Amino acid sequence: MEGATGRERSAAIAAAIACITLVGIGLSLSVPLLSLEMERMGVSKVWIGANTAVAGLASIVVVPFVPRLAARVGVLPMLVAAVLTLTLVLPLFKVFPSFPLWFPLRFVFAASLGVLFVLSEYWINAAAPPARRGFVMGIYATVLSLGFVIGPALLSLVGTSGWPPYLIGAVLFLVGLVPLMAARGVSPAIERGGRRTILSFLLAAPAATLAALVFGMVETGCFALLPIYGLANGFDPEGAAFLVGVLSIGSVVLQVPIGVLSDRADRRLVLLGIAALGLAGALLIPVAMQRTALLYPLLVVWGGVVGGLYTVGLAHLGARFHGAELATANAAFVVLYNVGLVAGPPVVGLFMDASRDGFAMRQPCFSPPISRSS
């Protein structure tokens, strides 16, 4: 957003963050809701997992085409179309309680989410002042994490049966249009003519794109299997589930400090430091597992530090690329993140079957390349 005033930049950042936060709330409400609904329908856990995995597949398939399409029709129209699609599709899961139909519905739902994430992150990165890009991305990651906490909390209040959760989710998506329309005069454009591929950005900025891959693997590996690891180490079901909540606290409280640090240092070195601390934290989990006084602080710090992969990776892309290239770079980031989402749980689960401490020992180790090209 070259030439934009400070007020215009602030309005653009606020609109994009507000939109994605509401979407985060709606998403974190809808994902467990649909899983529980499939359980009530008598769907096996294997098929529940398969239906959920369609979300990652949809993003991987659709996201690479988003930047070029947005260059033709505009960023704001595509964001509005994605929000409206989410608003309409979520209630259709309730209207059509037929499991086979849920596969195409899930694909459309997840593809729309992929559009929102790519273009909102592009908007935030384009609007962020270069000297404070890490700080802005830290705020983005913090409020998105809060959104993921609020969604399940709302679900616990309204319940998981009947129409209320579907209608509340749809309303939350629809409310996301309000900040978008309020900032329609400062939405960014994407120039036509970008020809670089997703693979080219993996080679041009490996530190950032591989950070997205590893974060996706760790995040879903933890959310899916940390409770199972807790059960294997003597926690009751409630205590095992609580471990995920403890882990999430770090993602909420540490992203802004990590983002500020990345504004004052080489972001590749910050990513390297995050990798080292993430590896150390994973190795310490088995030691702390029987001592909750050590385990809870460790999970808070570890969750926050590993979450910094996403925050700093996005900031690094914003500093490296601009215009159409930045939009495609953000698409590459989201694709690699979704590859991690799909690959993480099976890989971690495989090592958990092989070893009691396989969960901790198989958390991916990330060592970002430090070179001129990254």
Quick one: pLDDT at residue 172? 86
Asked whether this chain's domains 6-186 and 198-361 adopt the same fold, the reply is: yes
Compute the average pLDDT of residues 316-335.
Answer: 87
Distance linking the first and last C-alpha atoms of the chain = 24
Extract the tokens encoding 160: 């998981």
Q: Mean of the pLDDT values across residues 315-322?
A: 89
Q: Is 292's pLDDT higher than 50?
A: yes
Report the pLDDT averaged over residues 242-271: 89
Whole-Å CA distances, 264 to 6, 84, 259, 317, 329: 21, 39, 9, 16, 23
Average pLDDT over residues 221-225: 68
Task: Spell out the CATH class of 6-186.
Answer: mainly alpha
Task: Output the pLDDT for position 357.
Answer: 60
Of 188, 197, 201, nearest to 323 by C-alpha is 188
Burial class (CB in 10 A: 0-12, 13-18, 19+), 24: buried
Give the pLDDT mean for 147-174: 84
pLDDT for the residue numbered 107: 94
Distance, in Å, from the CA atom of 161 to the CA atom of 133, rounded to the nearest integer, reads: 42
Q: Buried b / exposed e across 191-209, counting CB within 10 Å, b at 16+? A: eeebeeebeebbebbbbbb
pLDDT of residue 2: 54
198-361 under CATH 1.20.120.50, yes or no: no
pLDDT of 279 over the 50 cut: yes
The Cα–Cα gap between 29 and 24 comes to 8
The top-scoring range by mean pLDDT among 146-150, 247-251, 346-350 is 247-251
pLDDT of residue 291: 82
Helix 292-320 with 267-288: angle, nearest 10 deg? 160
Pull the structure tokens for residue 215: 């974060």
More confident residue, 228 or 57: 57
Residue 364 has pLDDT above 50, yes or no: yes
Q: Which two tokens stand for residue 301?
A: 């710090």
Q: Locate the domains of the chain by residue range.
A: 6-186, 198-361
Between 231 and 103, the higher pLDDT residue: 103
Q: Among 214-218, 352-356, 368-372, which stretch is predicted with the lowest mean pLDDT? A: 368-372
Write down the pTM of the prediction: 0.82
What is the pLDDT at residue 373? Answer: 45
In this prediction, residues 232-246 reach a mean pLDDT of: 79
CB 274 within 8 A of CB 309: yes
Quick one: pLDDT at residue 105?
95
Mean pLDDT value across residues 317-323: 87
CA distances from 101 to 45, 92, 97 (A): 17, 10, 8
Q: Decide if 293 contacts 233 (C-beta within 8 A).
A: no
**Listed range (40-44, 75-79, 219-223) with the worst mean pLDDT:** 219-223
The pLDDT score that the predictor gives to residue 177 is: 87
Average pLDDT of span 67-84? 91
pLDDT of residue 108: 95
Reply yes or no on whether the pLDDT at 372 is more than 50.
no
Structure tokens at 212: 């997205």
Q: In the prediction, which pLDDT does 4 show? A: 57
The mean of the pLDDT values for the chain is 82
185 sits in which H/E element:
none
Say if residue 84's pLDDT is above 90. Answer: yes
**Which residue did the predictor score with more confidence, 221 or 188?**
188
